[in-house]
Amino acid sequence: LNQEQKIVIIGCGAGGGTAAQFAKKQHRKSKILILEKGKYPQYSKCGLPYVLSGVIPKLSDLFEFSEEWFKKAGITLSTNTLVDKIDVNKKKVIAKKDDEIIEESYDLLIISTGSKPFIPPIKNIFLKDKLIDGVFSIRTIDDIKKIQNSVKKGKRAVVIGAGFIGLEIADNLNKIGINVKVVEALPQILLTTFDEDMSKIIYNKISEKIDIILNSTVTKIETKNGKINQLLIKNNKTNIEQKIITDFLILAVGCRPEVSLAKNIGCKIGKTGGIIVNEKCETNIKNIYAVGDCTEFLDFVTKRPVQIGLGSIAVRQAITAGINASGGNYLMPKGVLQTRTSKFFGLEIAGVGPTMDFLISDKIVTATFKGFSLPPYFPGGKPISLKVIADKKSGKIISAQAVGNNAAQRINSFATAILAEMTIEDFKKLETAYSPAVAPTIDIVTIVCDIISKKLKIK
Amino acid sequence: LNQEQKIVIIGCGAGGGTAAQFAKKQHRKSKILILEKGKYPQYSKCGLPYVLSGVIPKLSDLFEFSEEWFKKAGITLSTNTLVDKIDVNKKKVIAKKDDEIIEESYDLLIISTGSKPFIPPIKNIFLKDKLIDGVFSIRTIDDIKKIQNSVKKGKRAVVIGAGFIGLEIADNLNKIGINVKVVEALPQILLTTFDEDMSKIIYNKISEKIDIILNSTVTKIETKNGKINQLLIKNNKTNIEQKIITDFLILAVGCRPEVSLAKNIGCKIGKTGGIIVNEKCETNIKNIYAVGDCTEFLDFVTKRPVQIGLGSIAVRQAITAGINASGGNYLMPKGVLQTRTSKFFGLEIAGVGPTMDFLISDKIVTATFKGFSLPPYFPGGKPISLKVIADKKSGKIISAQAVGNNAAQRINSFATAILAEMTIEDFKKLETAYSPAVAPTIDIVTIVCDIISKKLKIK
């Protein structure tokens, strides 16, 4: 290990910022430089929706680590610095800071370039290469600033995309009295994260509070005085078109890994479009790591590559890359569990592992159970619906989805079981914590497994 | 398997009642008879404290399964039936129902006789073999009825014993404006379930709301008109005595396994005073099972025998014994985790596995961490303190204790990890569910393990 190695990190999101911290912790003499194209220090992207409603009062509340903080930690953060090129042979990066071109050599490089929002092909969505007035994506502080200006002016919003972020945005706009409609091209909400049956439970709950238009695509934006005014929405099944008047439109249809720098130097890009990394978060190029939304890694159970889109995984990759870049030896687990959660319209939901769409239906067994957080005789018990999927042959737990009370912490128990490769037979006997005021004698996390256990015996 | 075997169960608590249900489910032709000495059908003993405050409105709310329910399920429940003797050779039990002597033959017998409250040796506690007026234990519906009568009359109560039940009682009395003091002989509250440092956190919280007198023993009851009036309390360290005026006294100093029937027929009794059972819940006598508070079983980690005192374990043993008695084949895990929780004075606490007192201090590594339920920038995050103990040599997780937000569900993740015999190194990499409104990027369940991990490396 070079005593004074220089680690350059491209991007100061959760991935880059965390990698810097752990690289420094691992080896105090490592020189660490973060090049961030934006003007802000490290902030929470996941917190952005909550600023719209004021649940998080100000955008600056989202700043997690300031330039001063990094400075004190012995890390140099250079904002407004856009990396143009990586020179692998000379081991340096060429960047533009403000209007100046700078070159920085590196011993080790960590790419954390994140992802860019996907812009759906809607007629009139662009005006001179820019999103037309009233149309917003939601990836950055500046996006939220623009939406906040619109919020002042209008009272009707359409969100495209009923994934986690689309529904979080819808909830936060709804909270301040905006009339929100969500348009989703697919026949269900939360398609990649929840199965149809569980998604339906969530849909039924939240469609009491806002309109969700399924199976539908926004095909055209009609403007008035150069500003959005009306949307043309087509039902993909019936082809029937409808018009919806709106004051603004928010795009929440997912992101694409930002890999242009990596691609140019020959980093292998996987099927999902993300940079391929190993358990050490190394790319195929020596001394170059990649972490976060710009990468892909294997699903723990299916071993199928998945595009990283969760801050929780980005941070864990960043810890791994940071430690390894500074001479440590740290491995990610054999794959990602994709443990996920959100809360909107008062409903907590969570999941771990692949949904049915990524599994072969005759190789799995599933069970769904609706129970309560407290014993029947204790007042105040709250409903929870839980679905679990197991492998028919091995009996191992593959994935779980929960809607309702303490969904996330319950899913964490399943995440533990999946990481430990536990079988249904072992997990169903888990002694869960019981006390009338806290939880039932047998928590539904094991009740649902007992149901699967019976199905596994019949198979 | 005898097609029409007869299973007799002694006791209709959570153990006996559950065993009956699972025996019937396992084999519809099993004839099942429950002999219960009390006059009530199966009810929740754990719910008793909450009736005092009215959180659970009526005692009858605690009835979980009525005689009619059992009848419909094809199970005979005979209440007011006290078993006097088991005749192992003739395979029958002799009991007294009301004033009649009855005999019932059995093919298989399940002993679920529970436990009896320990009565501490306090001067004047008995009057003619009965607890003196104003002194109550808390094991049965009738105990609560008696306390309810006293509640009407008095405004000052003393609870002896600062374990789960003592503190639950204190909380529920406090809720209705009774001035409660808790007297504990030991230097800390919750001694067998929480380590000193964690116990201190709980103590500091709840001693804001009630008086807890540690290191102290009630030595004498002074009466007035044949009723409790004043207590003499001695500090075990200083020997200083004080007098406390009280209207009633509640004994919550633990229970002793009720094993007289089992002892008489030669069932092996273990060190803790409970009937020794194996993973099938069999006693040493053929065709005789035992479950619940009258038994002991091995701790999962230490393999040391522990007296069963948790309803959650009783129910899991009952499932095991019921299935096996009806010809099935079902095993308990290799030991009990003793996952436990409670909530009092607004504070949720939980634990799993042995406390430090049952471990050899130079063979373990511990870490304690105080974190929050949400990311720092998200309003409303609640504190959680978490302690984890791991084995120094193997790195396996031994036990965990939590105080605060969602303590029980967080402890369930540790229970899963302990059952799966996971190491700190594996568990600390767990992808916990993250979303700003629900949980931090890295939940404290893994943060605390990362601290232990560092200590394990130094060892």
Contacts of A439 in chain B (CB under 8 A): 341, 408-409
- Chain-centroid distance of CA B295 in Å reads 13
A290 burial via Cβ count (<10 Å: 0-12, 13-18, 19+): buried
So what's the pLDDT on residue B151?
83
pLDDT exceeds 80 at position A280: yes
Q: For all residues of chain B together, what is the average pLDDT?
A: 96
pLDDT exceeds 60 at position B372: yes
Name the residue in chain A with its Cα closest to that of B331: A429
**Contact yes or no for A435 and B46 at CB 8 A:** yes
pLDDT in tens, A356-412: 999 999 999 999 999 999 999 999 999 999 999 999 999 999 999 999 999 999 999
Contacts of B47 in chain A (CB under 8 A): 375, 377-378, 436
pLDDT exceeds 90 at position A151: no
Q: What are phi and psi of B294, to 5 degrees?
A: -85, 0
Best residue in A341, A416, A442 for a mutation probing chain B (most B CBs within 10 Å): A416
Closest CB to B433 among A412, A419, A430: A412
Best residue in A340, A428, A434 for a mutation probing chain B (most B CBs within 10 Å): A434
Distance from CA of B442 to the nearest CA of A (A): 7
Q: How far apart are CA B51 and CA A189, in angstroms?
A: 43
Q: Could you tell me the pLDDT band of residue A152, with boundaries at 50, 70 and 90?
A: confident
Closest CA to B242 of B215, B279, B273: B215
Q: With pLDDT > 90 as the criterion, what percentage of chain B qualifies?
A: 95
B277 burial via Cβ count (<10 Å: 0-12, 13-18, 19+): buried
Interface A–B counts its CB contacts (< 8 A) at 230
pLDDT in tens, A186-206: 999 999 999 999 999 999 999
**Contact yes or no for B412 and A44 at CB 8 A:** no
pLDDT exceeds 60 at position A183: yes
**Contact yes or no for B438 and A342 at CB 8 A:** yes
Distance from CA of B305 to the nearest CA of A (A): 17
So what's the pLDDT on residue A212?
98
0.95 cut: is pTM over it? yes
Instruction: Note whether B42 and B114 are within 8 A (CB).
Output: no
Poorest-pLDDT segment among A2-6, A329-333, B424-428: A2-6
Residue A179: beta bridge partners? Answer: A156
So what's the pLDDT on residue B281?
98
Distance from CA of B421 to the nearest CA of A (A): 8
Closest CB to B333 among A311, A413, A429: A429
Catalogue the active-site residues of B: 46
pLDDT exceeds 80 at position B153: no
Instruction: Note whether B233 and B216 are within 8 A (CB).
Output: yes
Q: Residues A26-53: what's their mean pLDDT?
A: 96
pLDDT in tens, B291-346: 999 999 999 999 999 999 999 999 999 999 999 999 999 999 999 999 999 999 99
Ramachandran assignment for B380, one of left (phi > 0), alpha (psi -120 to 50 degrees), beta (any other) = left
Distance from CA of B140 to the nearest CA of A (A): 16
**Contact yes or no for B310 and A350 at CB 8 A:** no
Write the DSSP string, A121-168: --BT-EETTEEPBTEEE-SSHHHHHHHHHHHHH-SEEEEE--SHHHHH
Helix (H) or strand (E) holding A400: strand A397-404
**Contact yes or no for B312 and A434 at CB 8 A:** yes
**Contact yes or no for B430 and A439 at CB 8 A:** no
ipTM of the complex: 0.96
pLDDT in tens, B274-284: 999 999 999 99
Contacts of B190 in chain A (CB under 8 A): none
Ramachandran assignment for A127, one of left (phi > 0), alpha (psi -120 to 50 degrees), beta (any other) = beta
